[in-house]
Structure 1
């Protein structure tokens, strides 16, 4: 069962419930409660079934819990008084021989250990006392109805970690709703409970005790021991008379002295806790499933936005959109500087011109086309990345869950990442180089032809690049797109030109697609932190069923109903 519950704990702990959907708050609270119950009580207790019986004294404000603990121990070990709330940090009193059982990694691991009581609700004060029998420990908890939320939260955690509840109430408070909410929870999970009716005048003891007993019966707690402590004076140390607490003290000593009884109490409480965990885990699974539907919708919003951006990039890339402005002018200057295919003699003239250009400090025209082409591709990729981010952001703003996610991540998701410009610049530059490699490898059989020699490898590569960005441009386009396509076919044959065009285009779309998918991943990462995958609900249910099977195998004796 330990292995099954560890698996269930892993599945529960890994299921994020951060989406703002109906029932999410309740699901998160149920998840938190289950994880606390597993970590604070069930798993530590399963690992150390022989640990002392942990008896948590809890109850209403002013019921006299701390006074009762001090009186049971025989000395002042926990703060008591008329000011409320009195108890802040929890106090655990144990026999000195049992000290090792209460080290930080054994029980209530989230509470820091202390040797003196403080007002730190995240501390656990350990007190050794020989008057506490070996095999049993007393833990004084804050008020379950404290005016301070931290006290109430700690009281709930401590009661959930108890093998045995010693629930203290008074004649003035026994009918209050909050304590009964805790007692009903104890009954729901079959926890071992004893009731102390404290601070009750002798004149009304019979009536109050009878009414309280009927209330316990009506709520399934008729088998819980019911002790009474008459209202009386305390001594100078704030302790009740020994006779006032003798029945409770004798009962606790009897429990400590009987290993079989202790084991039965532990088994009863542990079995009920596991049963409640399994039952409640299905509620968490349902909450995860509810979030899964919204998660799917938010993922679809992001996919739609970035799929649209990829499609727009592919369209604008090849329909001649880029063959405007400077790129078109640079290309016409390069291609229109003369007939590029006039032959080897004219190549000598062009070589002379390039030497003169170099002397005058002007870059070769082919380099200018390459730079202009790379710049325009960079801008197009940036534009579509920005469009994808904006579209995804706007789609999320239309749902409550999406708005909540955006509120937690600022407005950075509305824009492309800050490093995208440098990455887009590198992508475009690398693609220009890739065109050169494609020409060298795929057009190798044409490299010794006069037409290829006239244009050169760089000229052929830049012509290929221009053909990619003007593949679907109209035939009568004045930008020079038609000239580029005709030139590519003239240098290579028609089939080779088509193959080169497809390879270069696919290479660029692949590079751009990788960038846009990485941009989209930012939204996925936000979702992954906020919500579990839809499959997590089934994983939780499967782990819960396995834990229930293990409960019947390991905890429930064969003679139990």
Structure 2
């Protein structure tokens, strides 16, 4: 019979499970699986702690199982049971597939990979109950009378195909299947690939049968016994095993008698009720397997939170000493430095700042001379600002370097490297923060001078001699640690200015501590992610409790 290429049925409304699910498994199963899919999708494991990579891979497999099998199958329980014929390159699965149907529907031959396009065959009488899903979307769908009713035969690409897209498709189709018919050979049944695939099936609770192909008659008993032992060792004692004898080099289909046991077994699965039993058994197996997966994933999420707590503790432990060091540096009057001293010497020669006249403890000057001094002091203010920026920037960089050492040295908290900011970005952010902070500091000088202006004749005279902006510059320079500026202020103001200078210096110390705190907070902010919260795994734990009530 020539295969009938049938049209695909329209996909049912998403999110509306098959009514039969209520009878077979209970309506709540679909809701739990859907909610689990959402919560698993939301899981992120940002810290590279032990086990995170494996947990993330497990997360991806769990999503695939939910997307490719559980949710589609729960929506359409009445659709035929999908039996995927899978195996490694050269195992003869396409030949077996075609032999079961009695004609060449899926291309088989010596060129590899043989199976480039998956083929999914249904019985024509099942046309009305076939619904689109992952398997139909990935395959060429045919209708063939040799397929037992209530089942569908799927010939998948080689699991070890040298084409990556074939390998990916094969894995997706395995996830979509209700039953795996795994084909291997007498020469290759001991390879790692068959057992990796079978372990994957066991992990997800899939129903499995196995075909041992091309078995020489003289070694049949030995090989069959060895394979049965291996299946028992893997906890797969109930797996049906079919042995296909080696018929030597040949082309075309296998003799009907050779594949009769497999065909008889497929016939036993036929019919809506029996095939549904296979579907439900695999679904229940998959559901039974979910708690272990979800527990492992939830534990991995908790491990992320614990690692974040350790990192946070290590960072916070550095805060008191780092902030104190930054404050002490400013309080010690080391901000001004050589550049401010050089500028002062220059101004002493050009603007003659040190030669202002003071009579009866009050500075004497004309307004014109005061404007010249104020203009000359503009350069000094720029130098004070630049010195303050260098000091605060250095304090921040020093803390960043310290934190990098704390989080990367032997014995450091796991995952710390992942939350360290990128150097260039952190440097740029620090420069912006420091520049804005110092600008805010210098801007306060005007308010300080205004507050002093009502303190008496000496302050009024000083404003006249240096200008309001110039007198503010002298206060800033003194607060930054310039002894020259401080001596001049004592000459023209006595002790009137000391409280103002102390306030400016304390403010700069606070700003230095804030810059240092910003370095610490840059890491702590990265740890504030919901993925690292103490209750990040709570959604998974809720789903886990629901699954355990179901299974």
TM over 0.5: yes
CA spacing shift, 1:484–1:352, aligned 2, 3 Å:
closer
Q: Answer yes or no: is 1:353 the counterpart of 2:369.
A: yes
Report if aligned partners of 2:134, 2:173 keep a CA contact under 8 Å in 1. no
Partner of 1:533: 532
Is 1:454 matched up with 2:461?
Answer: yes
Q: Which moved more, 1:366-375 or 1:334-343?
A: 334-343
Cα deviation code 1:318-344 (max 9, x no counterpart)? 211023334356669597453679799
Q: Secondary structure at the match of 1:364?
A: helix
Q: Structure 2 vs 1, CA of residues 173 and 364 (structure 1 numbering), >3 Å: closer, same or farther?
A: closer
Cα distance, 1:381 vs structure 2:
1.9
Q: CA deviation at 1:129?
A: 3.0
Aligned length: 511
Whole-Å Cα distance in 2 between the matches of residues 458 and 272 of structure 1? Answer: 81
Which residue pairs with 2:18 in the alignment? none
**Residue aligning to 1:272:** 285
Structure 2 unaligned runs (5+)? 1-28
| 1: CA distance, partners of 2:153 / 2:209 | 13
8 Å contact kept, 1:413–1:523: no
Is the 2:323–2:517 Cα contact (8 Å) retained in structure 1?
no
Select the residue among 361, 366, 380 that pairs with 2:391: 380
Identify if the C-alpha distance between structure 1 residues 534 and 249 changes in structure 2 by more than 3 Å, giving closer, same or farther.
Answer: same
Question: In 2, Cα distance between the equivalents of 1:49 and 1:43?
Answer: 10
Per-residue CA deviations over 1:418-437 (Å, capped at 9, x if unaligned) read 46445533432232113324
Summarize the Cα distance change of 1:218–1:431 in structure 2 as closer, same or farther, 3 Å threshold. closer
Which runs of structure 2 are paired with 1:412-423 in the superposition (5 Å)? 413=423, 416-418=426-428, 420-421=430-431, 423=433
**What corresponds to 1:257 in structure 2?**
271
Which whole-Å CA distance do the structure 2 matches of 1:400 and 1:20 have between them?
Answer: 15
Contact preservation (8 Å) 1:306, 1:389: no
| 2:208 aligns with one of 168, 193, 213 | 193
Distance in 1 of aligned mates of 2:508 and 2:545: 56
Q: Report if the CA contact (8 A) 1:271-1:551 is conserved.
A: no
Alpha carbons 1:305, 1:389 under 8 Å: kept: no
Q: TM-score, normalised by structure 1?
A: 0.72
1:72 aligns with 2:100: yes
1:422–1:223: structure 2 CA closer, same or farther, 3 Å change rule?
closer
1:547 aligns with 2:543: yes
- Within a 5 Å distance, the mapping from 1:102-501 to structure 2 comes to 102=132, 106-107=133-134, 124-131=138-145, 132=147, 136-144=151-159, 155-174=170-189, 176=191, 178-187=193-202, 189-200=204-215, 212=227, 216=231, 219-232=234-247, 238-242=252-256, 244-249=258-263, 251-252=265-266, 255=269, 257-258=271-272, 260-290=273-303, 294-299=307-312, 310-328=323-341, 336-338=354-356, 346=364, 349-355=365-371, 357=372, 364-399=375-410, 413=423, 416-418=426-428, 420-421=430-431, 423-437=433-447, 440=450, 443=451, 447=454, 449-456=456-463, 457-459=468-470, 461-470=472-481, 478-481=483-486, 484=489, 490-491=495-496, 497=499, 501=502
1:17, distance to aligned residue in structure 2 (A): 4.5
Return the offset for 1:65. 1.0
Residue 383 to residue 190, structure 1, CA distance change in 2 (3 Å): closer
Alignment CA distance shift 1:416-1:59 (3 Å): closer
Cα distance in 2 between the residues matched to 1:418 and 1:108: 51
> Unaligned 5+ residue runs, structure 1?
114-123, 471-476, 557-561
Whole-angstrom distance in 2 between the partners of 1:301 and 1:154: 46
Cα offsets for 1:437-466 (capped at 9, x unmatched)? 4655xx38x548434433444355435434
Once residues 491 and 119 of structure 2 are traced to their aligned partners in structure 1, the CA distance between those partners, rounded to angstroms, is 90
Q: Partner of 2:444: helix, strand, or coil?
A: helix
1:13-28 to structure 2, matched below 5 A, reads: 13-17=41-45, 21-28=49-56
Deviation at 1:351, TM superposition (A): 0.9
Equivalent residue number for residue 116 of structure 1: none
* Contact preservation (8 Å) 1:56, 1:166: yes
Residue 117 (structure 2) pairs with residue 81 (structure 1): no
Contact 2:206 2:285 in 1 (8 A): yes
* Structure 1 residues 363 and 545: alpha-carbon distance in aligned structure 2, compared to 1, 3 A threshold: closer
Q: Which SS does the other structure have where 1:195 is aligned?
A: strand
Distance 1:306 1:156 in 2: 50
Normalising to structure 2: TM-score of the pair? 0.73
RMSD: 4.7
Q: Corresponding residue for 1:33?
A: 61
Q: Deviations over 1:255-303 (max 9, x none)?
A: 4531x33333233222322332321333344445555555555555555
Deviation at 1:167? 1.9
Instruction: Determine helix, strand or coil for the equivalent of 2:366.
Output: helix
- 1-side partners of 2:249 and 2:260: how far apart? 15
